[in-house]
Amino acid sequence: MLVAAWRESEAEIRQAFGLLVSAEKRLKETFKPDSYLFDLSRTDSRYRRYEDPDELLRELRKDVWRVLIDRMELRRILSVKRNEELNRQIETGKDLPDIDEAQILAMSIFALKPSSCLAVAGSGASDALGN
């Protein structure tokens, strides 16, 4: 259910971004081509590039992993050091695995055989727990 929700949402976001690019282009061409007006990426003095949904999807991927980790209560078994490493890994988004059934299953057995915070294989549970 979680993976299906992610996949469907990701596809819809990609489609929506394409629609926004098309609408922005049409508005600019029709109303005022050489203006900052009708720039749909302008929000609260920040800019979002709707030509490329990957930025938003990267942020959403981090949010999904935060929720999954919380739901599996993995932080309870990690040392303070490993929790800090996990926080950094999620915050930077570096090496975050795909959101799919295999990765979620791997995370569910994380305490038994982790090699890094969000990847499975390799070292023993005592390393993951900071022991």
Residue with tokens 């990690």: 78
Residue among 58, 71, 57, 55 nearest 2 (CA):
71
Residues 86, 56: Cα–Cα separation, whole Å: 21
Residue predicted with more confidence, 123 or 106: 106
CA 68 distance to own-chain centroid = 11
pTM over 0.85: no
The tens digit of pLDDT for each residue in 104-117 reads 888 877 645 555 55
